[in-house]
Every structure is written in structure tokens, then in C-alpha cells.
Amino acid sequence: MERPKSEAAFAEAQKYIPGGVDSPVRALSAVGTTPIVAERAEGPYIWDVDGNRYTDLCMSWGVFLLGHNQKDVTRAAEAAVRRGSSFGMCTAGETRLAKLVNAAMPSMERLRFVNSGTEATMSAIRVARGFTGRDTLVKFEGCYHGHADHLLVSAGSAVANLRRASSAGVPEDFTRHTVCLPYNDTATFSKYMAESGDGVAAVIVEPVACNMGVVPPKPGFLETLRRETERHGAVLIFDEVITGFRLTSGGAQRLYGIRPDMTCVGKIVGGGFPAAAFGGRAEIMGMLAPSGPVYQAGTLSGNPVAMAAGEATLSRLSDQAVYDMHNERCERFFRKVESVLAHKKDVRVNHVGSMFTIFFNSDEVVDFATSARSDKPRFAKYFNNMLERGFYVSPSQFEGNFISLTHDDNILDALAVAIDESVE
């Protein structure tokens, strides 16, 4: 597809915006092409400024389970804008959406809305530290929890190297209380907690890892996190910014039957507008000002337009039958893709619910170390092959793809063919 207008728009953006983008992955540098500049979207499709139409599998990084520009959500947002886009005061819409979140995820006994997943995770960690009176945070290699300084940490090549920042501009003192352990490694986690668990304030995890590609938890992994945090009085935080309202109406915690102490949700909860939330047990959330000593605030938190869009979205998704139907359709699609790729010993299809990643890897991908061995140049060729066929997949080997309710069987059949051809 020719994209001269996108190329011109990107060149203009570079004069005013660092790298020409407001989020690095949009630059498409990892896949060796120039950014696509979007103009509009509807259902499963996006059109760029050149008029090219793409079947979207990124869906704004998992936001649009209902599809782009869903009419009920759009109508609710338009009505909210006409009433006023921000008040700096309480609105009833905040409570209505909070009730919907609580009904789906009872573990979030009390919750507070913020503007992004990063805000949700950093706020949850602050509350957990205030509640426990401890400093140490445990996270897992390859799990992304936003770009707060103390969360930009990776373990490197050895578990002993626990405190290295993965971004310039992050002082060592910001990361010295963050410990990073291998995802899906139950033995290492149990050993660490036995030695140091009484000093751990919180353990934060993506219950299904979605930022090293889609990597599901091994049997027993989440159960071990729950058991050890309870044993040592640490707060277990599920980062369900991606999985919340994606896998089931109750997220990954419902799917796997684990009740965390705190949960962070985002993306779907705002119906396409900037909104996220963190919440948990009432006694923990009671630490927040004005009730308690932990401070957190935001001018646009609980924005009425985002609350209205989120309410319209979660109202539609309150019926578990919607997920059952959708996940069954997705499972049929994944069986078809696995069948057509069965002869490819160096291609893996990881999937949970309506999320999936195609890995160019001879090994089963179960953690960050195995994910990192994937063939990135080959993925770049695959991405561009898919783009030529009119399919926009998430532009990184280490991200997930997302199937919406508007991706019908005909679209998924065509997608399976395109994947087969593009892998070749």
C-alpha cells in the first residue's frame, strides 16, 4: 500500500514531537517501516490518511473489545461532552462505573479512577507500601507495568542482578527497592520469599503476561504468588490493565480463580478514552487520602466523558455469555492457525481468550528469556507481509494482538490465510 500522506505527516511531526511520535512503538522502527497516520476507524477497521483500509488486530493495544467507534459508546461520550467535559468535582458517573467494575471484580471492594495504566500501578504500589510499612517491590521479568521510574527494571541475565534500570534517566536510588524475578519460575519466587518475604511490601504481576508477547501462567504459578504473599503479609497486585474485561467479565482473576489483594485495570474500562482504575480490599484502599495518609490525586481523574464511555462499554460486557461466545469463536480460529502452521517447527502461536502472539521461535515461549530468543528480523518481514495484505498486527514481536467482537468468522478466516502466507 502506498502511504505518501502518512510519510509527509510523519516528517512534519518530527519537527515538533520527539521522534515524531507520542509513544515509541508507534514509530514502527522495530519493523523497518514508517508510521501509519490514522484518520478514522469503525468496527474492526482503520483507515489511514491515504485512504488505505486495514483490518486492525492491535485495536489500540487491546482497548476496543467492542470494536472501534461502537455506536452506544460513541453516543454516550457525545452526550457527556455536551453536558461538560470536565468539572473538577464529583459526578454520579464515577460511582456508576465503579459499581460495574466492582460487580465484575469483587476483589476491588473500593477503587479509584485515574487516567492511565501507569498511574494505576504506581498508585497501587504506593498504597501497598503505606499499608504494609515496607519498601521492597517484587515484579517479574518481561512484565510491563507502565513507565514509572521504580518499575523500569529488568533482571538481566542472572537473578543476582536484580536492580538495573532499563531506561536512561532513572537514578539507581529509584530502583534499589525493586526486585525482578523470572516470570513463571515458582521455585525462584518461593526461595526469594522464604529468604526475604517479610520485607516485601507488594508483589505485582501481569496474571497473563502481555508485554513479552502473550505468555500464560504455568499451572501453580499464580497460586504460589497468592500463597507466599499471604504467608508473609505482602500485598498481591494483579496488573489487569490489559486482561481486565478482556478474558472474562471478571478478568484473569476470575479465569484462574485467584483473588488478589489489589487490582489495576485500564484500556477497556475507559471505552476508548483515557481512564484506568486501581482498587482492592477496603482496609487497604482506606489508606488513601482523604481517609488515610497515602496521597494520590488527579485533575482529570474520573473524567465524565471517559466515565460515560466506560459505563456504556461495561454495561454491554456485563453478560458472561458474550465472552463465552467470543472466546469460542477465537478458539476455533486459533485451532485453524495452529493447523496451517503445524509444519513450521520454528513458529509458535501463544493465545489466551481473544489475545495472541505469533512467535518466530523454535522453543516454547514461557517467560522473558525464551521470548527474547525469538527472531525479530523475521517478525519484521511478517509484519510487512501482513500489512501488504491489509492486516495491521501489533508492530512488535513482544506485544499481543487482540480480536474484537466485530472480527467475524469471515474476517478470521481471511486472517488465517494471511498469516499462513505471511509466515511463508
- Confirm if 155 and 162 have CB atoms less than 8 A apart: yes
Rounded to the nearest 10°, the torsion over CA 97, 72, 276, 95 is: -10
Q: Give CA–CA dist 66/72, Å, rounded.
A: 10
Q: Give CA–CA dist 125/70, Å, rounded.
A: 34
Q: Which residue has the cell 485453524?
A: 336
Q: Own/partner pairs for 87-93, CB < 8 Å, 24+ apart?
A: 87/304, 88/299, 90/302, 91/302, 91/304, 91/307, 93/302, 93/304, 93/307, 93/308, 93/311
Amino acid identity for residue 152 in this structure: L
List of residues 6+ apart from 191 with CB closer than 8 A? none
Which burial class, exposed, middle or buried, applies to 34 when counting CB atoms under 10 A from its CB (0-12, 13-18, 19+)?
middle
Catalytic residue set: 144, 239, 267
- Confirm if 245 and 314 have CB atoms less than 8 A apart: yes
